Amino acid sequence: MRRVVHFEILADKPERAVKFYEAVFGWKIKRWGKQKYWLVDTGSKKTPGINGGIVARGGLFKGKRGFLSYVCTIDVTSLKATNKKVLKAGGKEANSGGLIHGVGWHQYFRDTEGNIFGVMQSVEGGM
């Protein structure tokens, strides 16, 4: 069984979202290098839950096809095998995916309802 391992909060103004989530939930949030991406630490590794990120709304997530929600990413052992399973089950590729250096291979898909979700084949020591 595969688990959700990461979420992403889409934001028109990521810095504003960072302040909001820090103030409301006490999350520890820091920018990831020079990327326009903020890593979200939601709490102790000893308690149930996952960590995520805050990213500017754009690309797949903007305009008529965009949405106001979180995107969850599911850990898999093989992105290639999962891609085949998604397509066979009636899902579609939302983007071509790619490598996130030091983290793993990532791709977005659309389920049969049009919802976007991420899939991550982690590299050792990533995420």
Phi, psi of 13, rounded to the nearest 5 degrees: -130, 95
- Model confidence pLDDT, tens digit, residues 85-104: 999 998 999 999 999 999 99
Query: Which of 30, 49, 73 is where one domain is finished?
Result: 73
Which range of residues forms the domain containing residue 55? 1-73
Say how many domains are in the chain. Answer: 2
Quote the DSSP letter at residue 76. Answer: -
Claim to verify: residue 68 and residue 98 sit in the same structural domain? no
Considering the domain architecture, whether residues 12 and 62 belong to the same structural domain is answered as yes
Q: Are 63 and 116 in a shared domain?
A: no
Give the pLDDT band of residue 78 (cuts 50, 70, 90): very high
Domain end, chosen from 35, 54, 73, is at 73
Using pLDDT thresholds of 50, 70 and 90, give the confidence band for residue 70: confident
| Cα separation, 21 vs 30, whole angstroms | 12
Distance, in Å, from the CA atom of 20 to the CA atom of 104, rounded to the nearest integer, reads 29
Predicted TM-score (pTM) of this structure: 0.70
Instruction: Render pLDDT for 5-59 as a digit per residue (tens, 0 to 9).
Output: 999 988 888 999 999 899 978 899 999 999 899 999 999 988 888 999 999 887 7
My answer on whether 68 and 89 are in the same domain is no
pLDDT band at 125 (very low <50, low <70, confident <90, very high): low
**Where does the chain have alpha helices with state H?**
14-25, 79-88
Per-residue tokens: 11: 């934001």
Question: Residue 50 maps to which CATH number?
Answer: 3.10.180.10
Task: Give the domain-ending residue among 51, 73, 95.
Answer: 73
